[in-house]
Amino acid sequence: MGVYKKIILPKTGVGMIPVVKTPEDEYWQDSSLIIDQFEQRFGDRPVTPSSPKQAMASLLFELIGDEWMRLPAMHYRWNFPEHNLKFIKSQFGASVAPSMPGFIQRWLGKKVVDRFSGYVGPLGINPTTIPAIEQWYKELLSQLDQHFGQQPFLLGSKPCLGDFGLFGPLYAHLYRDPYPGQQMRKLAPNVVAWVERLLDAGSIAGAFLGGDQVPSSLEPILSRMFSDFWPSLISSAERLEQWANENPGKTKPPRLLGMHPLRLGDVVSEQMCLSYSQWMLQRNQDYYQSLAGDQRAEVDAWLGQLGGLEAMQYQAPRRVGLKDYRIQLVAK
Protein backbone atom coordinates (compact mmCIF):
# COMPACT_ATOMS: atom_id res chain seq x y z
CA MET A 1 0.00 0.00 0.00
CA GLY A 2 2.88 2.35 0.74
CA VAL A 3 4.21 1.89 -2.81
CA TYR A 4 0.90 3.13 -4.22
CA LYS A 5 0.82 6.21 -2.00
CA LYS A 6 4.50 7.11 -2.02
CA ILE A 7 5.59 6.15 -5.53
CA ILE A 8 2.89 5.12 -8.04
CA LEU A 9 0.35 7.88 -7.43
CA PRO A 10 2.88 10.76 -7.19
CA LYS A 11 4.87 9.59 -10.23
CA THR A 12 2.07 8.54 -12.59
CA GLY A 13 -1.08 10.17 -11.24
CA VAL A 14 -3.04 6.93 -11.53
CA GLY A 15 -3.45 4.10 -9.05
CA MET A 16 -2.95 1.29 -11.54
CA ILE A 17 -0.27 -1.27 -12.24
CA PRO A 18 1.97 -2.32 -13.89
CA VAL A 19 4.45 0.52 -13.45
CA VAL A 20 8.08 0.41 -14.58
CA LYS A 21 10.81 2.58 -13.05
CA THR A 22 13.81 3.02 -15.34
CA PRO A 23 17.44 3.65 -14.33
CA GLU A 24 16.86 7.22 -15.53
CA ASP A 25 14.13 7.61 -12.86
CA GLU A 26 11.33 7.58 -15.43
CA TYR A 27 8.01 5.97 -14.55
CA TRP A 28 5.93 4.21 -17.20
CA GLN A 29 2.36 2.98 -16.75
CA ASP A 30 0.09 0.98 -19.08
CA SER A 31 1.23 -2.39 -20.42
CA SER A 32 1.02 -1.43 -24.09
CA LEU A 33 3.00 1.77 -23.62
CA ILE A 34 5.60 -0.02 -21.49
CA ILE A 35 6.16 -2.59 -24.24
CA ASP A 36 6.36 0.18 -26.86
CA GLN A 37 9.01 1.96 -24.81
CA PHE A 38 11.08 -1.19 -24.45
CA GLU A 39 10.77 -1.80 -28.20
CA GLN A 40 12.23 1.64 -28.88
CA ARG A 41 15.13 1.21 -26.46
CA PHE A 42 15.96 -2.45 -27.02
CA GLY A 43 15.09 -3.05 -30.65
CA ASP A 44 17.43 -6.03 -31.03
CA ARG A 45 14.76 -8.37 -29.61
CA PRO A 46 11.45 -7.02 -30.90
CA VAL A 47 8.10 -8.50 -29.95
CA THR A 48 6.35 -6.58 -32.74
CA PRO A 49 6.76 -8.35 -36.10
CA SER A 50 8.06 -6.27 -38.99
CA SER A 51 5.87 -7.92 -41.64
CA PRO A 52 2.35 -6.49 -42.11
CA LYS A 53 0.00 -9.46 -41.60
CA GLN A 54 1.90 -10.70 -38.57
CA ALA A 55 2.05 -7.21 -37.06
CA MET A 56 -1.69 -6.80 -37.59
CA ALA A 57 -2.41 -10.22 -36.07
CA SER A 58 -0.20 -9.46 -33.08
CA LEU A 59 -2.09 -6.23 -32.37
CA LEU A 60 -5.45 -7.95 -32.74
CA PHE A 61 -4.48 -10.61 -30.21
CA GLU A 62 -3.28 -7.89 -27.83
CA LEU A 63 -6.75 -6.35 -28.23
CA ILE A 64 -8.48 -9.66 -27.45
CA GLY A 65 -6.38 -10.09 -24.33
CA ASP A 66 -6.96 -6.55 -23.13
CA GLU A 67 -10.65 -6.10 -23.92
CA TRP A 68 -12.28 -9.54 -23.95
CA MET A 69 -10.32 -12.01 -21.90
CA ARG A 70 -11.48 -10.18 -18.80
CA LEU A 71 -14.89 -11.85 -19.25
CA PRO A 72 -13.72 -15.42 -18.54
CA ALA A 73 -10.94 -14.15 -16.24
CA MET A 74 -13.36 -12.33 -13.93
CA HIS A 75 -16.07 -14.97 -14.18
CA TYR A 76 -13.84 -17.88 -13.24
CA ARG A 77 -12.13 -15.87 -10.51
CA TRP A 78 -15.13 -14.45 -8.65
CA ASN A 79 -18.01 -16.84 -9.38
CA PHE A 80 -16.33 -19.88 -7.81
CA PRO A 81 -15.52 -18.61 -4.30
CA GLU A 82 -15.58 -22.08 -2.76
CA HIS A 83 -12.51 -22.91 -4.86
CA ASN A 84 -10.72 -19.59 -5.26
CA LEU A 85 -11.47 -17.20 -2.43
CA LYS A 86 -9.01 -18.41 0.19
CA PHE A 87 -6.17 -18.33 -2.35
CA ILE A 88 -7.15 -14.90 -3.70
CA LYS A 89 -7.36 -13.32 -0.24
CA SER A 90 -3.93 -14.61 0.65
CA GLN A 91 -2.43 -13.40 -2.62
CA PHE A 92 -3.95 -9.92 -2.42
CA GLY A 93 -2.99 -9.61 1.23
CA ALA A 94 0.60 -10.64 0.57
CA SER A 95 0.79 -8.09 -2.23
CA VAL A 96 -0.63 -5.25 -0.15
CA ALA A 97 1.33 -6.00 3.04
CA PRO A 98 4.15 -8.46 2.34
CA SER A 99 5.80 -8.04 5.74
CA MET A 100 2.65 -8.45 7.82
CA PRO A 101 1.53 -11.67 9.57
CA GLY A 102 -0.75 -14.00 7.66
CA PHE A 103 -3.94 -13.11 9.56
CA ILE A 104 -3.46 -9.41 8.78
CA GLN A 105 -2.74 -10.22 5.14
CA ARG A 106 -5.98 -12.19 4.90
CA TRP A 107 -7.94 -9.33 6.51
CA LEU A 108 -6.45 -6.81 4.09
CA GLY A 109 -6.95 -9.24 1.23
CA LYS A 110 -10.67 -9.40 1.99
CA LYS A 111 -10.92 -5.63 1.58
CA VAL A 112 -9.37 -5.86 -1.87
CA VAL A 113 -11.60 -8.81 -2.75
CA ASP A 114 -14.71 -6.87 -1.72
CA ARG A 115 -13.70 -4.04 -4.03
CA PHE A 116 -12.78 -5.96 -7.17
CA SER A 117 -15.44 -8.65 -7.00
CA GLY A 118 -18.02 -5.90 -7.41
CA TYR A 119 -17.01 -5.43 -11.05
CA VAL A 120 -18.46 -8.77 -12.16
CA GLY A 121 -21.96 -7.48 -12.95
CA PRO A 122 -20.89 -4.24 -14.70
CA LEU A 123 -18.46 -6.22 -16.87
CA GLY A 124 -21.45 -8.04 -18.35
CA ILE A 125 -21.06 -11.28 -16.40
CA ASN A 126 -24.56 -12.30 -15.37
CA PRO A 127 -26.90 -15.32 -15.54
CA THR A 128 -27.78 -14.44 -19.14
CA THR A 129 -24.20 -14.29 -20.39
CA ILE A 130 -22.39 -16.84 -18.20
CA PRO A 131 -23.23 -19.91 -20.36
CA ALA A 132 -22.03 -18.03 -23.47
CA ILE A 133 -18.85 -16.83 -21.72
CA GLU A 134 -18.02 -20.37 -20.62
CA GLN A 135 -18.74 -21.77 -24.08
CA TRP A 136 -16.56 -19.14 -25.79
CA TYR A 137 -13.72 -19.63 -23.32
CA LYS A 138 -13.72 -23.41 -23.73
CA GLU A 139 -13.75 -23.00 -27.51
CA LEU A 140 -10.87 -20.55 -27.23
CA LEU A 141 -8.90 -22.91 -25.02
CA SER A 142 -9.44 -25.72 -27.52
CA GLN A 143 -8.37 -23.53 -30.45
CA LEU A 144 -5.28 -22.26 -28.65
CA ASP A 145 -4.43 -25.76 -27.46
CA GLN A 146 -4.49 -27.00 -31.04
CA HIS A 147 -2.35 -24.08 -32.18
CA PHE A 148 0.23 -24.35 -29.40
CA GLY A 149 0.52 -28.04 -30.14
CA GLN A 150 1.97 -26.94 -33.50
CA GLN A 151 3.77 -23.69 -32.65
CA PRO A 152 5.48 -22.60 -29.41
CA PHE A 153 3.90 -19.12 -29.65
CA LEU A 154 1.28 -17.36 -31.75
CA LEU A 155 3.54 -16.53 -34.67
CA GLY A 156 6.48 -18.87 -34.39
CA SER A 157 9.24 -19.80 -31.98
CA LYS A 158 9.40 -16.41 -30.22
CA PRO A 159 6.60 -14.49 -28.48
CA CYS A 160 4.97 -11.46 -30.07
CA LEU A 161 2.99 -8.61 -28.55
CA GLY A 162 -0.19 -10.66 -28.94
CA ASP A 163 1.26 -13.47 -26.82
CA PHE A 164 1.87 -11.04 -23.98
CA GLY A 165 -1.61 -9.53 -24.41
CA LEU A 166 -3.19 -12.95 -23.92
CA PHE A 167 -0.73 -13.92 -21.21
CA GLY A 168 -1.96 -11.27 -18.74
CA PRO A 169 -5.40 -12.80 -18.06
CA LEU A 170 -4.53 -16.37 -19.04
CA TYR A 171 -1.70 -16.47 -16.51
CA ALA A 172 -2.75 -14.15 -13.69
CA HIS A 173 -6.35 -15.34 -13.43
CA LEU A 174 -7.00 -18.47 -15.44
CA TYR A 175 -3.75 -20.36 -14.79
CA ARG A 176 -2.96 -19.28 -11.23
CA ASP A 177 -6.42 -19.25 -9.63
CA PRO A 178 -7.27 -22.75 -8.36
CA TYR A 179 -10.51 -23.52 -10.18
CA PRO A 180 -9.74 -22.20 -13.68
CA GLY A 181 -6.17 -23.45 -13.33
CA GLN A 182 -7.49 -26.95 -12.77
CA GLN A 183 -9.75 -26.59 -15.82
CA MET A 184 -6.89 -25.34 -18.00
CA ARG A 185 -4.66 -28.24 -17.02
CA LYS A 186 -7.45 -30.67 -17.83
CA LEU A 187 -8.68 -29.15 -21.10
CA ALA A 188 -5.64 -27.43 -22.61
CA PRO A 189 -2.23 -28.83 -21.62
CA ASN A 190 -0.58 -27.09 -24.58
CA VAL A 191 -1.87 -23.73 -23.31
CA VAL A 192 -0.41 -24.56 -19.91
CA ALA A 193 2.94 -25.28 -21.57
CA TRP A 194 2.72 -21.95 -23.45
CA VAL A 195 2.07 -20.08 -20.19
CA GLU A 196 5.07 -21.74 -18.58
CA ARG A 197 7.29 -20.95 -21.57
CA LEU A 198 6.33 -17.29 -21.32
CA LEU A 199 7.22 -17.24 -17.63
CA ASP A 200 10.81 -17.62 -18.81
CA ALA A 201 10.51 -15.58 -22.01
CA GLY A 202 13.81 -13.78 -21.41
CA SER A 203 15.74 -16.93 -22.24
CA ILE A 204 13.96 -17.52 -25.57
CA ALA A 205 15.88 -16.92 -28.78
CA GLY A 206 13.50 -17.79 -31.60
CA ALA A 207 12.03 -16.24 -34.71
CA PHE A 208 8.71 -15.34 -36.25
CA LEU A 209 7.47 -17.57 -39.05
CA GLY A 210 8.86 -16.76 -42.47
CA GLY A 211 6.90 -15.30 -45.35
CA ASP A 212 4.64 -13.17 -43.15
CA GLN A 213 2.71 -16.32 -42.29
CA VAL A 214 -0.19 -16.19 -39.85
CA PRO A 215 -1.18 -19.80 -39.05
CA SER A 216 -4.67 -20.79 -40.15
CA SER A 217 -5.26 -22.25 -36.68
CA LEU A 218 -5.62 -18.67 -35.39
CA GLU A 219 -8.23 -17.61 -37.93
CA PRO A 220 -11.36 -18.84 -36.04
CA ILE A 221 -10.30 -16.83 -32.98
CA LEU A 222 -9.86 -13.63 -34.98
CA SER A 223 -13.07 -14.16 -36.95
CA ARG A 224 -15.05 -14.50 -33.73
CA MET A 225 -13.46 -11.31 -32.44
CA PHE A 226 -14.64 -9.35 -35.49
CA SER A 227 -18.17 -10.79 -35.49
CA ASP A 228 -18.93 -10.61 -31.77
CA PHE A 229 -16.60 -8.13 -30.13
CA TRP A 230 -15.79 -5.45 -32.70
CA PRO A 231 -19.30 -3.91 -32.51
CA SER A 232 -18.69 -3.11 -28.84
CA LEU A 233 -15.55 -1.17 -29.77
CA ILE A 234 -17.55 0.88 -32.26
CA SER A 235 -20.19 1.44 -29.60
CA SER A 236 -17.48 2.73 -27.23
CA ALA A 237 -16.33 5.25 -29.82
CA GLU A 238 -19.89 6.42 -30.48
CA ARG A 239 -20.60 6.74 -26.75
CA LEU A 240 -17.42 8.80 -26.35
CA GLU A 241 -18.53 11.12 -29.15
CA GLN A 242 -21.89 11.49 -27.43
CA TRP A 243 -20.14 12.46 -24.19
CA ALA A 244 -17.97 15.00 -26.03
CA ASN A 245 -21.02 16.61 -27.64
CA GLU A 246 -22.79 16.79 -24.28
CA ASN A 247 -19.72 18.28 -22.56
CA PRO A 248 -18.32 20.96 -24.91
CA GLY A 249 -14.97 22.32 -23.82
CA LYS A 250 -14.10 19.30 -21.69
CA THR A 251 -11.20 17.12 -22.81
CA LYS A 252 -10.96 14.48 -20.09
CA PRO A 253 -13.77 11.93 -20.40
CA PRO A 254 -14.55 9.70 -17.43
CA ARG A 255 -13.19 6.19 -17.47
CA LEU A 256 -16.74 4.83 -17.37
CA LEU A 257 -19.23 6.07 -19.98
CA GLY A 258 -22.26 4.15 -18.75
CA MET A 259 -23.45 0.82 -20.13
CA HIS A 260 -23.62 -0.41 -23.71
CA PRO A 261 -24.50 -3.64 -25.57
CA LEU A 262 -22.52 -6.86 -25.22
CA ARG A 263 -22.96 -9.65 -27.74
CA LEU A 264 -21.79 -13.23 -27.43
CA GLY A 265 -23.14 -15.25 -30.32
CA ASP A 266 -26.93 -15.13 -30.02
CA VAL A 267 -26.80 -13.78 -26.46
CA VAL A 268 -27.21 -10.02 -26.01
CA SER A 269 -26.74 -8.22 -22.71
CA GLU A 270 -24.88 -5.09 -21.62
CA GLN A 271 -21.59 -4.17 -20.00
CA MET A 272 -19.82 -1.04 -18.84
CA CYS A 273 -18.48 1.17 -21.63
CA LEU A 274 -14.88 2.28 -21.07
CA SER A 275 -13.31 5.28 -22.76
CA TYR A 276 -9.99 3.39 -22.84
CA SER A 277 -11.49 0.91 -25.33
CA GLN A 278 -11.33 3.50 -28.10
CA TRP A 279 -7.59 3.95 -27.53
CA MET A 280 -7.11 0.21 -28.03
CA LEU A 281 -9.27 0.34 -31.16
CA GLN A 282 -7.17 3.23 -32.52
CA ARG A 283 -3.99 1.30 -31.78
CA ASN A 284 -5.08 -1.34 -34.29
CA GLN A 285 -6.56 1.01 -36.84
CA ASP A 286 -3.59 3.37 -36.82
CA TYR A 287 -1.31 0.51 -37.81
CA TYR A 288 -3.75 -0.60 -40.51
CA GLN A 289 -4.00 2.95 -41.91
CA SER A 290 -0.20 3.19 -42.02
CA LEU A 291 -0.06 0.42 -44.62
CA ALA A 292 -0.01 1.17 -48.34
CA GLY A 293 0.52 -0.51 -51.68
CA ASP A 294 1.21 -4.23 -51.72
CA GLN A 295 1.33 -4.45 -47.93
CA ARG A 296 -2.16 -2.97 -47.63
CA ALA A 297 -3.47 -5.27 -50.36
CA GLU A 298 -2.06 -8.36 -48.61
CA VAL A 299 -3.55 -7.39 -45.27
CA ASP A 300 -6.89 -6.52 -46.89
CA ALA A 301 -7.08 -9.95 -48.54
CA TRP A 302 -6.28 -11.63 -45.22
CA LEU A 303 -8.81 -9.52 -43.29
CA GLY A 304 -11.42 -10.34 -45.93
CA GLN A 305 -10.97 -14.06 -45.19
CA LEU A 306 -11.55 -13.33 -41.49
CA GLY A 307 -14.64 -11.19 -42.04
CA GLY A 308 -12.75 -8.19 -40.68
CA LEU A 309 -12.08 -5.99 -43.71
CA GLU A 310 -15.24 -3.89 -43.37
CA ALA A 311 -14.75 -3.61 -39.62
CA MET A 312 -11.27 -2.19 -40.07
CA GLN A 313 -12.62 0.61 -42.28
CA TYR A 314 -14.50 2.17 -39.38
CA GLN A 315 -13.21 5.58 -38.36
CA ALA A 316 -14.10 6.91 -34.92
CA PRO A 317 -15.68 10.39 -35.05
CA ARG A 318 -13.17 11.68 -32.51
CA ARG A 319 -9.63 10.64 -31.63
CA VAL A 320 -8.29 10.13 -28.14
CA GLY A 321 -4.79 10.04 -26.72
CA LEU A 322 -3.10 9.06 -23.47
CA LYS A 323 -1.76 12.06 -21.59
CA ASP A 324 -0.31 11.43 -18.14
CA TYR A 325 -1.75 7.92 -18.54
CA ARG A 326 -5.33 9.17 -18.82
CA ILE A 327 -7.60 9.23 -21.83
CA GLN A 328 -7.99 12.68 -23.34
CA LEU A 329 -9.79 13.93 -26.42
CA VAL A 330 -7.56 15.03 -29.28
CA ALA A 331 -8.55 18.35 -30.86
CA LYS A 332 -10.18 17.96 -34.26
115-145, pLDDT tens digit by residue?
Answer: 777 789 999 999 999 999 999 999 999 999 9
The contacts of residue 170 (CB under 8 Å, 6+ apart) are 65, 69, 73, 184, 191, 195
Instruction: For residue 232, give Cα distances in angstroms to 193, 235, 270, 281, 307.
Output: 32, 5, 10, 10, 16
Average pLDDT over residues 295-305: 97
With cut-offs at 50, 70 and 90, classify the pLDDT of residue 93.
low
Span 26-38, pLDDT tens digits: 777 678 877 778 7
The pLDDT > 70 percentage for the chain reads 89
Confidence label for 249 from pLDDT (cuts 50, 70 and 90): confident
Which pLDDT band, with edges at 50, 70 and 90, does 22 fall under?
confident
pLDDT band at 332 (very low <50, low <70, confident <90, very high): low
Cβ partners under 8 Å of residue 299, min gap 6: 52, 53, 56, 288, 291
- pTM for the model: 0.91
Specify burial of residue 178 (Cβ count, 10 A radius: 0-12, 13-18, 19+): middle
For the domain bounded by 45-79+120-329, which CATH number is listed? 1.20.1050.10
Going from the C-alpha of 245 to that of each of 18, 258, 331, the distances in angstroms are: 33, 15, 13
Q: Give the CB-side neighbour count of residue 272, counting CA atoms within 13 A.
A: 17
Residue 11 confidence class, pLDDT cut points 50, 70, 90: low
Separation of alpha carbons 57 and 213, rounded Å: 10
User: How many residues does this entry show for the chain?
Assistant: 332
For the cut 60, the answer to whether the pLDDT of residue 1 exceeds it is no
The residue ranges of every structural domain in the chain are 2-40, 45-79+120-329, 80-119
Contacts of 63 (CB under 8 A, 6+ apart): 165, 225, 280, 281, 283, 284
Query: What integer pLDDT is reported at residue 169 of this predicted model?
Result: 95
Q: Which of 163, 137, 167 is nearest to 75 (CA)?
A: 137
pLDDT for res 4: 60
The 3-state secondary structure of the chain reads: CHHHHHHHHHHHCCCCCCEEECCCCCEEECHHHHHHHHHHHCCCCCCCCCCHHHHHHHHHHHHHHHHHCHHHHHHHHHCCHHHHHHHHHHHHHHHHCCCCCHHHHHHHHHHHHHHHHHHCCCCCCCCCCHHHHHHHHHHHHHHHHHHHCCCCECCECCCCHHHHHHHHHHHHCCCCCHHHHHHHHHHCHHHHHHHHHHCCHHHCCCCECHHHCCCHHHHHHHHHHHHHHHHHHHHHHHHHHHHHHHCCCCCCCCCEEEEEEEEECCEEEEEEEECHHHHHHHHHHHHHHHCCHHHHHHHHHHHHHHCCHHHHCCCCCCCEEEECCEEEECCC
Which pLDDT score, from 0 to 100, does residue 94 have?
A: 63
